[in-house]
């Protein structure tokens, strides 16, 4: 005996028609008839008097109808409870992101997830790459968004996916002679002083330093930081220039004293990765992964 057989049985009993029951369940009359016959064989009894019009329940069928309705009601109730639990599921998801990525589309992604899972508490924190790595490995964070050259990607217990591929801009003060250029290349920046944006806050990324070296020079880096606002302040004060991903610069609306010029070149890009521990057993994390490319 299964729920389909009981559902068809109740419908035929209430509608007094195999045809109307089939229409109710969007199946053929043959399908309904076969399921009722199977049910009668299982119970070794006849449930309907088919000689009457409209068809009527036998005494055995009348007895089964009460129990069948009760069984189905309990089943529907159990499904409804599970559905309510699923739709109101709680829990938490802890997200960390590299400094500067708050200016990206991350907030839109979090908003979409929150609308679909309003009872999941989303907490966010911003750190440099070292702090993000430590928090992820310790279990203090469920997922981090960090630059693609972060050493954490080489760790065997780590999984990741690229979520943003950004071009780069040169950030100049508005009196700089290069602000009128439509684009710049690394070799154009040979004589410049650099206020270096680094996810660690203290050291350079070797992969980007190589781009300067390939352009024929060592960059004159006068300051390292992961603080976007401090870089903008120093550039506006004409202390030097900087290079930033466009997910940052595209939101620098009318920033006083600042002009951004595209940096051209085959490798002039920066990627952001979503990173998590492969062994992290968190249902909320599994759900959130589905939003990474929406």
Tens of pLDDT, residue by residue over 127-176, are: 888 888 888 888 889 999 988 776 777 788 888 888 888 899 999 999 99
Tens of pLDDT, residue by residue over 232-283, are: 999 999 999 999 999 888 877 667 889 999 999 888 888 888 999 887 667 7
Kindly indicate the confidence band of residue 80, based on its pLDDT and cuts at 50, 70 and 90.
low
pTM listed for this prediction? 0.63
d(CA 31, CA 74): 25
- List, in sequence order, the alpha helices (H) in 88-148: 106-116, 129-138
pLDDT value, residue 73: 84
Tens of pLDDT, residue by residue over 183-215, are: 999 999 999 999 998 876 555 667 788 889 999
Chain-centre distance of CA 50, in angstroms? 57
Three-state secondary structure call for residue 260: strand
Tell me: pLDDT of 219 over 90: yes
């Amino acid at each position: 005996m299964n729920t389909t057989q009981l559902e068809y049985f109740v419908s035929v009993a209430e509608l007094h028609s195999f045809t109307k029951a089939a229409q109710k369940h969007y199946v053929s009359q043959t399908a309904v008839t076969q399921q009722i016959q199977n049910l009668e064989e299982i119970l070794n009894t006849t449930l309907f008097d088919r000689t009457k019009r409209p068809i009527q329940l036998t005494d055995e069928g009348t007895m089964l109808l009460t129990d069948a309705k009760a069984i189905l009601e309990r089943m529907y109730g159990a499904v409804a409870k599970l559905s309510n639990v699923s739709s109101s599921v709680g829990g938490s998801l802890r997200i960390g992101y590299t400094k500067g990525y708050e200016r990206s589309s991350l907030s839109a992604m979090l908003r979409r997830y929150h609308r679909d899972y309003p009872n999941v508490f989303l907490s966010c924190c911003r750190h440099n790459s070292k702090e993000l790595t430590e928090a992820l490995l310790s279990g203090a964070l469920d997922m981090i968004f960090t630059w693609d050259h972060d050493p954490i990607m080489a760790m065997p217990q780590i999984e990741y996916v690229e979520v943003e591929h950004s071009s780069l801009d040169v950030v100049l003060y508005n009196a700089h002679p290069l602000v009128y250029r439509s684009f710049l290349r690394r070799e154009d920046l040979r004589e410049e002083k650099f206020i270096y944006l680094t996810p660690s806050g203290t050291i350079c990324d070797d992969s980007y330093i190589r781009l300067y070296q390939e352009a024929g020079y060592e960059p004159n880096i006068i300051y390292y930081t992961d603080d976007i606002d401090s870089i903008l302040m120093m550039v506006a004060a004409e202390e030097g220039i900087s290079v930033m991903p466009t997910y940052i610069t595209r939101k620098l609306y009318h920033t006083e004293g600042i002009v951004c010029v595209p940096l051209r070149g085959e490798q002039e890009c920066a990627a952001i990765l979503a990173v998590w521990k492969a062994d992290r057993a968190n249902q909320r994390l599994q759900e959130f992964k589905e939003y990474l490319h929406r």
